[in-house]
Amino acid sequence: MVGGYFSNDLSIDLGTANTLIYTKDVGIVLNEPSVVAIRESRGQKTVVAVGTEAKRCLVELLEILKQLGLYQRA
């Protein structure tokens, strides 16, 4: 019986821009950008940041690339 394993108390929306977590009693408890920052060194991948912090990393990287002339918005 599959129905016994699920509950209506928690909803997760893995959206393109943001990830939302909603609980029946509280409402939205998490609203974070759907972004993960990953560092790769010597073939080893490590998660550095998720959500808002990862988005900040992306913005900082884009600024550095712009300063170096390696990024240009179309």
Domain map (residue ranges) of the chain:
1-34, 35-74
| H or E element that contains 46 | strand 44-50
CA–CA distance, 13 with 7 (Å, rounded to integer): 15
Residues 6+ apart with CB under 8 A from 74: none
Nearest to 50 by CA among 72, 69, 35: 35
Per-residue pLDDT of the chain (74 residues; tens, 9 = 90+): 455 666 779 999 998 899 999 999 999 999 999 999 999 999 999 999 999 999 999 999 999 999 999 887 76
53/63 Cα distance (integer angstroms) = 16
